[in-house]
């Protein structure tokens, strides 16, 4: 594939337009499949090795990162994580384009962050036709168990996403949001400094 063709495909991907597996195959060297496998099979006491693998896997990774294995990623290299991140088991990154996670983010078990969806009509899904849009999770967000975050979503500073939610639209800062589809339930206020639950 020529460089001009690769640039044309990347431009389409950047606009959220449909592209195919064959068209995007030139990105395969960015996949960190072997390193992800190694991370998921490294004993928990080997902290230096685990840290070096995270640095090798992700596009960028902050300090004091905790990511409990197993985790899964399409690429890994398109994930960017800030400081003081906690990711629980079975976190899945479908990172065909960037996933950007801020500082102080907590993610519960079995969460999926997917930048990619597929066209509704089956003829447009030939050769795994798909579209991709970046996900942004701002600082201090807490995402509950079994949440799915869909392409193009931004979750604002300090927000909480309730367990089992499907997040298909932007969530404003300092909000409690729940449901399928995920909707803002209420703002987070100083009253929450003295309560345990939502």
Q: List, for residues 5-15, the tens digit of each pLDDT value.
A: 899 999 999 99
Specify the 3-state DSSP secondary structure of 149: strand
Q: How many CA atoms lie within 13 A of 32 on its CB side?
A: 24
- Which pLDDT does position 36 carry in this prediction? 98
Q: For strands 131-132 and 116-117, give the pairing.
A: antiparallel
CATH of the structural domain 3-194, one choice from 2.160.10.10, 2.120.10.30, 3.40.50.300, 3.20.20.110: 2.160.10.10
Residues labelled as active-site residues: 118
Confidence of residue 98 (pLDDT cuts 50, 70, 90): very high
- Which pLDDT does position 34 carry in this prediction? 97
Spatial distance between the Cα atoms of 40 and 54, rounded to a whole number of angstroms: 11
Spatial distance between the Cα atoms of 144 and 161, rounded to a whole number of angstroms: 6
> In this predicted model, what pLDDT tens digit does every residue of 149-166 receive, in sequence order?
999 999 999 999 999 999
Q: How many CA atoms lie within 13 A of 154 on its CB side?
A: 6
Spatial distance between the Cα atoms of 72 and 37, rounded to a whole number of angstroms: 9
Averaged confidence pLDDT in the chain: 96
For residue 198, pLDDT beyond 90 = no
For residue 195, pLDDT beyond 90 = no
> In this predicted model, what pLDDT tens digit does every residue of 35-49 receive, in sequence order?
999 999 999 999 999
Least confident of 28-32, 33-37, 174-178, 192-196: 192-196
């Amino acid at each position: 594939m020529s460089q001009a063709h690769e640039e044309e495909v990347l431009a389409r991907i950047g606009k959220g337009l449909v592209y195919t597996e064959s068209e995007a195959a030139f990105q395969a060297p960015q996949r960190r499949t072997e390193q992800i496998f190694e991370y998921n099979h490294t004993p928990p006491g080997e902290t230096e090795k685990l840290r070096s693998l995270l640095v090798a896997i992700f596009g960028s990774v902050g300090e004091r990162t905790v990511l409990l294995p197993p985790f899964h990623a399409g690429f890994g290299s398109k994930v960017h994580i800030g400081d003081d991140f906690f990711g629980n088991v079975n976190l899945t990154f479908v990172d065909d384009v960037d996933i950007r996670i801020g500082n102080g983010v907590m993610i519960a078990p079995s969460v999926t962050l997917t930048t990619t969806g597929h066209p509704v009509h089956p003829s447009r899904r030939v050769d795994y036709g798909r579209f991709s849009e970046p996900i942004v999770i701002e600082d201090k967000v807490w995402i509950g168990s079994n949440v799915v975050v869909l392409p193009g979503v931004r979750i604002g500073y300090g927000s909480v996403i309730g367990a089992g939610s499907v997040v298909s639209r932007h969530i404003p800062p300092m909000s409690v949001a729940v449901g399928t589809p995920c909707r803002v339930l209420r703002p987070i206020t100083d009253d929450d400094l003295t309560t345990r639950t939502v």
